[in-house]
Amino acid sequence: MARSESHALDKHGHFLSADTDEKTTLEKLLDVVERVGNRVPHPAVIFVLLIGLVILLSQLLYWAGASVTYEAVNPQTHQIETVTTSVRSLLTTDGLRFMYGGVVQNFMNFTAVGVIIVAMLGVGVAETAGLVQALIRKLVVVAPAKSLTYILVFIGILSSIAADAGYLVLIPLAAAAYLSIGRNPLAGLAASFAGVAAVFTVNILVKPLDAILTGITNDAISLVRPGETISLTANLWFSIASVVLLTAVVGFLSDKVIEPRLGPYTGAGSDQNTSATVTAEESRGLRYAGWALVGLLVVFALLTLPPGAPLRNPETGSLVTDSPFMNGLIVFIALAFLVAGAAYGLGAGTMKSSVDLIKAMEKAIAGLGGLILLLFIISQFNAFFTYTNIATLAAVRLGDWLEHAGFGALPLLVGFIFVVGALDVIMVGAIPKWAIFAPIFVPLLMRLGVEPAAVLAAYRVGDSPVNAISPLNAYFGLIVSFARQYDSKAGVGTVIALMLPYVVVLFILWPLLVALWHIFGLPWGV
């Protein structure tokens, strides 16, 4: 890792030698995790090996006749259906046809690829023009140094309103912001990644995912109490409390655990000018960018705010639930960066013509070559794994075990959180897991006197933290590539070691918050 030999701080604030015996047990453990993790192959090779493992496992389970019968919510029809799912082998005639004939379609269906390319068209312009760097310096001037980490974490949590924007935009910006003021950029990367991924399912705003999770919950409620429903804001108070608590927790861990372990950064760019001064040209560019952004907001206000506007849901008129605006929010974000970046370039004199604009977009796309290769392999793994139904089998078996374990209401609620977290390692999607778990646990816990909103809140908690350390997270490889910009030796182990303290602490404090909320009977939402 690109850093000096100093890792930990003594009581006077001085960095200790990496060879000292004064390292804490946690630091020693994380160093072991990093060393072991970085000895594993490149992420692309890991997923090739995982594909081979899935092929072999699918055949063994197919020979064993593995299958499960369960009730699940159909997200399209909102009907509770009894489903029998058998493991499908990838080595049967149908499986071989699927693997061979679906390669291109598997890649095309992997939405992360399109999202990254579209976003980088705009972000690339803003970065090449210099807007990103100027904004970072402005942020450093405005934000007190002690608050920078907490601000970045808070923004990361809120970024889940546009699920992919946090990964693509905020995380590299946070690393650059740290570097610009002489702090270790990997610490900024870790803090923002924790906010974006490990606290993904809560927000202070209602987001599109809430509509889907609430709909599935209501379908499960109907099994016990037909006609009873919860609203989109059924977890709002708990979510707001979680955002406030976890912003403080993640920020504290970043400043007091992660950054001291990393030590001062001595890699590429560590000797850059860390002055936060904004030049006259940059100030003019920022004004131009601000005006351009206001103009874009006016255009989108006309497209979204009036009743019957084109970007509202054509059937319900909703701007949040299944609307063209929310479905294409990444396009708005890309346009915002593109328009603001071009205007900044014009005002600051860093872009002279449309040719510069096109070259900036070409440069951004060219830089994605390695990542697109990785996503191609990941897309095949995801398609193969989904085809086999192994994840569904694991989910149902874990759910059945917990259901019949004979726990009381509160232990069952907390145990449910950890089962969801364990499954999140291999089944990262929030929606398919909840479609399986909701018909099991919502009625079960309701019969034990637990509110449906509490079950949904528990699911949110279990589904989030592991996102930060699961290599099956579609953006995990992207985070590794961001880390390598600052440390050429960074690998899977580096990122996991960075994120593991967050995951462990969140899995202690967040379930405790759920338990206390339930014990004291606090309202979960509106």
| pLDDT confidence bin for 91, thresholds 50/70/90 | very high
Asked if residue 229 belongs to a domain, the reply is yes
Asked if residue 1 belongs to a domain, the reply is no
Least confident of 196-210, 228-242, 333-347, 351-365: 196-210
* Residue 477 to residue 376: CA distance in whole angstroms: 12
* Residue 233 to residue 526: CA distance in whole angstroms: 5
Start-to-end Cα distance in the chain: 47
Asked if residue 526 belongs to a domain, the reply is no
Helix (H/G/I), strand (E/B), else coil: 8: strand
pLDDT of 22: 63
Lookup: tokens for 416: 């449910």
| pLDDT confidence bin for 258, thresholds 50/70/90 | very high
Least confident of 33-47, 275-289, 322-336: 33-47
Lookup: tokens for 223: 């099994």
C-alpha closest to that of 56 among 294, 380, 384: 384
Count: domains in the chain: 1
* Residue 169 to residue 123: CA distance in whole angstroms: 7
* Residue 30 to residue 8: CA distance in whole angstroms: 12
Residue 194 and residue 205 in contact, taking contact as beta carbons nearer than 8 Å: no
Instruction: Give the structural domain span for 296.
Output: 6-10+21-519
pLDDT of 26: 65
Q: What is the DSSP string of 210-257?
A: HHHHHHHHHHHHTTTSTT----TTTTHHHHHHHHHHHHHHHHHHIIII
Dihedrals phi, psi of 188, to nearest 5 degrees: -65, -40
Q: How confident is the model over 135-154, as pLDDT tens digits?
A: 777 776 777 778 899 999 99
Number of other residues whose CB lies within 10 A of the CB of residue 2: 19
* Residue 137 to residue 275: CA distance in whole angstroms: 8
Asked if residue 525 belongs to a domain, the reply is no
| pLDDT confidence bin for 30, thresholds 50/70/90 | confident
pLDDT of 37: 64
| pLDDT confidence bin for 269, thresholds 50/70/90 | low
pLDDT of 414: 94
Q: Is a pLDDT exceeding 80 seen at residue 428?
A: no
Report yes or no on whether pTM surpasses 0.75. no
| pLDDT confidence bin for 38, thresholds 50/70/90 | low
What's the mean per-residue pLDDT of the chain? 84
User: Of residues 305 and 477, which shows the higher confidence score?
Assistant: 305
Dihedrals phi, psi of 20, to nearest 5 degrees: -70, 155
Asked if residue 380 belongs to a domain, the reply is yes
Residues written for the chain = 526
